[in-house]
Structure 1
């Protein structure tokens, strides 16, 4: 993406992870002069090997009177619990603070459409599903943002951009202008960053307010209220009445067909499917193409992902479930569950899941949240404290394989991964490898 507006301009970039490096690359190719920094010395050292044209100088030594814009990475807080020091410094000189997505929206052409997707849960699946259907319809599509590639690395010639927005990214933006927004749901999350649920809701609402048409999930109390208050063009989607999709403009639904025809789990993806259908209809995609796309969509890795069976035991990787509301969808998809749960807990823990404990045969607790979750489960569901994922899987399988009933061993942590892993992806990949090792060992044992 060419950022011609910044040619010969002095621009500061703070945060040198994937997003920051993407920004630097786009700005350098557009002829800007870059001043780059990070709190992490390792990130600076890495960036120096990649970005030879940058000025790596501590921001306190910048001549801020000559710097027009500071581009922040999403991980840098601008308000709660307090603005990062670089934010305070830039504001003291009235320097504009922007995000990479804002640069992208400035640079795209008027004919290129942008679909923005957000929500607490399901946004990655919905973003991917919309892109998948549009590609199958022959549209030239690019998918990125919080999911996959940073927006400035996307194909500049795409006809439609499908962008996932996190609350961190939305918080950074001064202006938002997208053709279609999707707000799926809201549940308490990232409260340590936003301070309280009201601030979190306000940040998520910004995408709706900055769109020409808003597709809003109305099964959720927070988003239903946003729908009612929003005075712009809007379409409600109600996942609760699938296999039919509800639209404001029509009293008739579109039947998707038999559940068995789909590769993804309908129970955990109902809201995502409904939203994707609504967006694609707005873009005038034929209904048959949309439905065929929904049926053939393979789903996302680490999201309610069936790995395979060993005898009577099904293994499911739902490592992407980093809060209780997300885990709820996977729990409702199965019965006789041996639940591997735990990690760095979010606000509220797993209290809201207690109404589903009858589906849990036994819970295997891991990570930092072990004691808190044990207290929640006391006298409600059988549990075992396992410390880590490897122990939990071994103990769960040992019990499940001796059970004649069909059992699902479900990794759905309802927690962030950062107590024991770098990311939910690393946690999920580890679980996949453990499953493969277990299956291979079991096969060899049976053969002997």
Structure 2
């Protein structure tokens, strides 16, 4: 059966030529498979390098491997597959509609309104924060999408779905209309996929392409975006409701909650509450903000030693994210930089570091090259593996501070030279910082 058949209520019907293909499995594809199976849909699948758990799930569902030369009504393509992949181009030429998990959820669960959140930096933390605010105000909100878990794993348990949207996901959302959308910022990223900044930004702006006048788009103050939605700008310095009513001062936020994310999240929660016909009171939102917890691995204080904080922001590999970390870290800063360089723009980082960074601690494959490019005093450390390297970096950072400041992991480079992913790198920093703090304290 087709997705159109399902939407029209023809559950279980056989529609000639209405085949559905999952193209690319992994985290997103498995979520889509489980969701479709619950709906009684049969699908085929293709993946160039399926993981064992992918093949096991397909076997359990009894789904057959698809045909790259076949004709399908709908192709649900994982975000890891470039939208201009030759197979996807060929499927479209043969009449298929190529969509992703977000469009699938929106079409098959139209009664579940979504808050969509994108941006070059801060979208994950803002997603978690919006969901937290809504839950604290009595809404059964669930977060998913680009952030774990997959959207299709949580949408059936949600009164409201709060969805982190990457540029890859936003390339495959035809017809998506969001009552509330957020753009945290627009910088430069993923040029290996999008090739140009213009194409990357165009993908991001798909978040508002289907919006209309009753809908709300929340953007940073000063960002001009073509949209038919109501635009509500936010500023990090002013955490307010849409009418300007103050909610909370930036200085009163919990440790690790970025003021810009809080400002955007408050406006998003207010807009969704209005969409649901519920009140959004400043006092209630202030209380919810005070109880917010930072997302692990996103500017999180993982250890303290006297007046020194150890802050883990392993995910900070985009220029905007690193810049935000530098601006938030209490100086003087011992800045851990390294990993594999992915071509970050260093110019804004030199400005953000000026007068705040006492020393760069360079580690990993491209750490020294990045440190030289920053033009700051630096020291190179290394170890026999990633964990040992991180222990040496943390100790060097503490030595550089002389008893006060921040040891900050905001590495610029990706983790793949020495670690499985940014989470593993962050865990190594956390363990090293906590062990060192305990050792010195003894």
Per the normalisation by structure 2, the TM-score is 0.87
SS at match of 1:225: coil
SS at match of 1:427: helix
When the two chains are superposed, the root-mean-square deviation of aligned CA atoms in Å is 2.4
Offset of residue 306 of structure 1: 0.4
SS at match of 2:163: strand
1:440–1:215 Cα change, 3 Å: same
**2:27 is aligned with 1:29:** no
1:305-345 per-residue CA deviation (whole Å, 9 max, x = no partner) reads 00121344321111121212101112112201111012233
CA contact (8 A) 1:113 1:161 kept: yes
Aligned match of 1:147: 147
Q: Which residue among 377, 386, 389 is the counterpart of 2:381?
A: 386
CA contact (8 A) 1:10 1:32 kept: no
Offset of residue 288 of structure 1: 1.0
1:352-363 matches, cutoff 5 A: 352-357=348-353, 358-363=355-360
Offset of residue 74 of structure 1: 0.3
Offset of residue 29 of structure 1: 2.1
**2:57 is aligned with 1:50:** yes
Q: Which residue among 325, 332, 343 is the counterpart of 1:330?
A: 325
Give the Cα–Cα distance (whole angstroms) in 2 for the partners of residues 403 and 154 of structure 1: 44
Per the normalisation by structure 1, the TM-score is 0.86
Give the Cα–Cα distance (whole angstroms) in 2 for the partners of residues 255 and 57 of structure 1: 53
Aligned match of 2:224: 225
Stretch moving more, 123-132 or 86-95 = 86-95
Q: Which residue among 253, 266, 276 is the counterpart of 1:262?
A: 253
1:40-73 per-residue CA deviation (whole Å, 9 max, x = no partner) reads 14x2x3222223234343524x6x24x3211110
Q: Which residue among 7, 17, 27 is the counterpart of 2:26?
A: 17
1:37–1:246 Cα change, 3 Å: same
1:78-111 per-residue CA deviation (whole Å, 9 max, x = no partner) reads 13xxxx232133134222211111110001134x
Offset of residue 219 of structure 1: 4.1
Aligned match of 2:82: 77
CA contact (8 A) 2:219 2:231 kept: no
Q: Which residue among 212, 216, 219 is the counterpart of 2:218?
A: 216
Give the Cα–Cα distance (whole angstroms) in 1 for the partners of residues 429 and 142 of structure 2: 30
1:329–1:390 Cα change, 3 Å: farther
Give the Cα–Cα distance (whole angstroms) in 2 for the partners of residues 298 and 342 of structure 1: 27
1:235-314 matches, cutoff 5 A: 235-239=232-236, 241-242=237-238, 244-245=239-240, 247=242, 250=243, 252-257=244-249, 259=251, 261-265=252-256, 269-282=258-271, 283=273, 284-314=279-309
Aligned match of 2:276: none
Aligned match of 1:95: 96
CA contact (8 A) 1:146 1:166 kept: yes
Give the Cα–Cα distance (whole angstroms) in 1 for the partners of residues 159 and 152 of structure 2: 15
Provide structure 1 residue ranges, at least 5 long, that are not aligned to the other structure: none
Give the Cα–Cα distance (whole angstroms) in 2 for the partners of residues 97 and 196 of structure 1: 22
Give the Cα–Cα distance (whole angstroms) in 2 for the partners of residues 392 and 59 of structure 1: 46
Give the Cα–Cα distance (whole angstroms) in 2 for the partners of residues 428 and 324 of structure 1: 18
Offset of residue 398 of structure 1: 4.6
CA contact (8 A) 1:121 1:184 kept: yes
1:143-187 per-residue CA deviation (whole Å, 9 max, x = no partner) reads 111112111111425221111111010012222111111111011
Q: Which residue among 38, 47, 70 is the counterpart of 1:38?
A: 47
1:428–1:246 Cα change, 3 Å: same
